[in-house]
Amino acid sequence: METPGRERVPCDLLVSARVVLTQNQDREVLTDGAVAIMGRTIAAVGPAVDLRRDFAPARDLNLGESLLMPGLINAHTHASMTLLRGAADDLPLMDWLNTHIFPLEAKLSPELAHLGALLGCAEMLSFGTTAFLDMYLLERATARAARESGLRAVVGEVLFGFPSPAYRNMEEGLDLVRAMHEELGPSGRVRTAVMPHSLYTCPPELLTKSFALAEELDLLWHTHLAETISETARAQHEFHQYPVEYMLDLGLLSPRSTLAHVVFPTPDEIDILVSTGAHVVHCPESNMKLASGVSPIPDLLAAGVSLGLGTDGPCSNNNLNLFEEMGTAALLHKSEALDPTRITAQQVLDLATLGGAACLNQNGQGQNGLGSLAPGKVADFCALDLTAPNMMPLFDPVAQAVYAATGQEVRLTVVDGVVRYQDGRYTDIDFPLLIQEMDKVRDWVKRNRA
């Protein structure tokens, strides 16, 4: 009901739901709540009755029996690898990479990379993911797919110490990163970052030059690190140091550094991660599938390491479903420690929202405000159907999102204040046409795989 004499403030969109899980500083959960959107920014969060009294929305979207929550943030993936989903399974990491994946990737075209990335974007939107950090080949194609689909992304051309389909040598690779930064700009919905692949594919010169470029351009720096026992042993053999220690000595660890996996850190290395402010992305399902090991995430959390959650690529997972990833993360560490209190649902949800925002260096306000529903933050959120059988009855919304939700309950995904996915339909993606293109993709993989 409007208050007599009180003028309602115009807004673009008002979304209300039975439950609003804010992930704000107080981890507030609202019953019969709403979010008011002006442009791409959240103007207000509160009881639906209050926001309808205060705001005059151009569009009023009442989701009824739904759980509204921040969009999930996939802090490490390779979206275009949807192309290779199921093409090489049940193999150890190095065999998987060197025998099966790298040979196929050497034949990749920009057109194929775009199709794979667009399919990945569609998958992520359908599972409530609103932002992702992506490292892969021919990343201009991924940037294009993110722009077309409406997703938020930080994309980076993967840098190797050998030629790739995108460049002939290290200097060309670094020049490509610089060119992508100039094309995408420093603060848009789709940005770039500097992404050397790993210690075992990049010589020290490339690692240090790439980090210097990240500092020069003020960009995120992202790499794989300490993913397997063999990688850790190799670092000890070649550098006489553990991987995190080696990175520190090269001057590569700072708050701009986001490290994927870090499965085998020593206690001293955990201290290094805390003191440098480097971020770590936990990828439990990929680590399990490749039998890489179990990262000591509860220990990292207890020490104060900045942590996010990622799916890794859809070829080593084999999906881009962060709801499933949250459930796996929660159960894995309880089981591994034989302790059901080892990690909580709230801690895991934090990894997939606020932690992911930190890993993308977008955990502030305004254009960098991701991970929670609060005034001034970017309007990125999703909603789950609470009438799904597995979502009833509802006692604890956080536990329901982590333990009960599968991702199939997502009925709405909003990025930058725009509805990008609702009730099985995409706003910006021609999904029927994309389905047809996947037949061509499958034929290409069959022709070219070993």
**Domain definitions of the chain by residue range:** 9-70+373-426, 72-359
Strands 152-159 and 190-192: parallel
Average pLDDT, the chain: 95
pLDDT in tens, 210-227: 999 999 999 999 999 999
- Can you tell me which residue has the tokens 């940037």? 143
Neighbours of 135 (CB within 10 A): 25
Tell me: pLDDT of 5 over 80: no
C-alpha 101: how far from its chain's center?
22
From residue 146, how far is each of 220, 236, 278 by CA, in Å? 18, 39, 26
What residues pair up with 349 in beta bridges, in sequence order? none
pLDDT in tens, 166-175: 999 999 999 9
Q: Across residues 27-56, what is the average pLDDT?
A: 98
Rounded to a whole number of angstroms, the distance between the first and last alpha carbons of the chain is 67
- pLDDT score, position 102: 87
pLDDT in tens, 348-397: 999 999 999 999 999 988 778 999 999 999 999 999 999 999 999 999 99
Contacts of 90 (CB under 8 A, 6+ apart): none
Residue length, the chain? 450
Neighbours of 39 (CB within 10 A): 13
Confirm if 195 and 135 have CB atoms less than 8 A apart.
Answer: yes
Residue 3 confidence class, pLDDT cut points 50, 70, 90: low
Distance CA(448)–CA(90), nearest Å, equals 19
- pLDDT score, position 242: 96
Distance CA(148)–CA(421), nearest Å, equals 13
Q: Do domains 9-70+373-426 and 72-359 have the same CATH topology?
A: no
Confirm if 329 and 343 have CB atoms less than 8 A apart.
Answer: yes
Lookup: tokens for 133: 């950090």
Q: Across residues 15-20, what is the average pLDDT?
A: 98
Q: Across residues 417-427, what is the average pLDDT?
A: 98
Residue 193, amino acid = A
CATH for 9-70+373-426, options being 3.30.360.10, 1.20.1090.10, 3.40.50.2000, 2.30.40.10: 2.30.40.10
Neighbours of 167 (CB within 10 A): 18
pLDDT in tens, 142-193: 999 999 999 999 999 999 999 999 999 999 999 999 999 999 999 899 999 9
Smallest Cα–Cα separation from 221: which of 284, 313, 133?
133
The architecture in CATH of the region 72-359 reads Alpha-Beta Barrel (3.20)
Residue 264 confidence class, pLDDT cut points 50, 70, 90: very high
C-alpha 193: how far from its chain's center?
14
Tell me: pLDDT of 1 over 50: no
Tell me: pLDDT of 12 over 50: yes
Percent of the chain with pLDDT over 70: 99
Confirm if 306 and 109 have CB atoms less than 8 A apart.
Answer: no
Smallest Cα–Cα separation from 362: which of 207, 256, 278?
256
Contacts of 132 (CB under 8 A, 6+ apart): 73, 74, 75, 77, 79, 124, 146, 151, 152, 153, 154
Q: Helix/strand/coil (H, E, C) string of the chain?
A: CCCCCCCCEEEEEEEEEEEEECCCCCCCEEEEEEEEEECCEEEEEEEHHHHHHHEEEEEEEECCCEEEEECEEEEEECHHHHHHCCCCCCCCHHHHHHHHHHHHHCCCCHHHHHHHHHHHHHHHHHCCEEEEEEEECCHHHHHHHHHHHCCEEEEEEEECCCCECCECCHHHHHHHHHHHHHHHCCCCCEEECEEECCCCCCCHHHHHHHHHHHHHHCCCEEEEECCCHHHHHHHHHHHCCCHHHHHHHCCCCCCCEEEEECCCCCHHHHHHHHHHCCEEEECHHHHHHCCCCCCCHHHHHHHCCEEEECCCCCCCCCCCCHHHHHHHHHHHHHHHHCCCCCCCHHHHHHHHHHHHHHHCCCECCHHHECCCCCCCCECCEEEEECCCHHHCCCCCHHHHHHHHCCCCCEEEEEECCEEEEECCEECCCCHHHHHHHHHHHHHHHHHHCC
pTM above 0.75, yes or no: yes
- pLDDT score, position 295: 97
Confirm if 281 and 76 have CB atoms less than 8 A apart.
Answer: yes
Confirm if 443 and 87 have CB atoms less than 8 A apart.
Answer: no
pLDDT in tens, 310-345: 999 999 999 999 999 999 999 999 999 999 999 999
Tell me: pLDDT of 92 over 90: no
Confirm if 387 and 409 have CB atoms less than 8 A apart.
Answer: no
